[in-house]
């Protein structure tokens, strides 16, 4: 169990440590700081990445809720049918 935890936590720790080291190239970074049009472009990239990363979670969560309520509805119907046949 400890080995499995180490296998998953070690890459996460390395990714977090390297995240502070990795930045945009200096040319891109400097041009984005001083150009208002480029800043708007960077903000657009930010929002598009945010939406793209949240879309799979929303789709899977929505489908999960749909299937959960369908199973719940089927169980309620089955319970109702079993009460009618036993009476």
pLDDT tens profile 11-70: 877 777 766 555 556 666 666 667 777 777 778 888 888 899 999 999 999 999 999 999
pLDDT of residue 26: 61
Statement: residue 84 has pLDDT above 80: no
| CA distance from start to end of the chain | 52
How many structural domains comprise the chain? Answer: 1
pLDDT score at 22: 53
pLDDT of residue 67: 97
Name the token pair of 79.
């319970």
CA of 76: how far to CAs of 60, 68, 81, in Å?
24, 12, 9
Domain membership of residue 75 as a residue range: 2-86
* Residue 46 confidence (pLDDT): 84
pLDDT at 43: 81
Report angle CA 33, 44, 58 to the nearest 5 degrees: 140
Helix (H, G, I), strand (E, B) or coil at 1: coil
Residue 77: per-residue pLDDT: 92
The whole-number pLDDT of residue 53 equals: 92
- 3 state SS of 11: helix
């Amino acid at each position: 169990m400890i080995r499995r935890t180490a296998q998953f936590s070690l890459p996460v720790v390395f990714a977090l440590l390297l995240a502070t080291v990795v930045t945009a190239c200096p040319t891109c970074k400097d041009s984005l700081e001083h150009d208002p049009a480029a800043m708007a472009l960077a903000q657009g990239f930010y929002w598009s990445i945010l939406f793209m990363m949240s879309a799979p979670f929303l789709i899977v969560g929505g489908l999960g809720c749909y299937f959960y309520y369908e199973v719940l509805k089927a169980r309620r119907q089955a319970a109702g049918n079993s009460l009618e046949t036993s009476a």
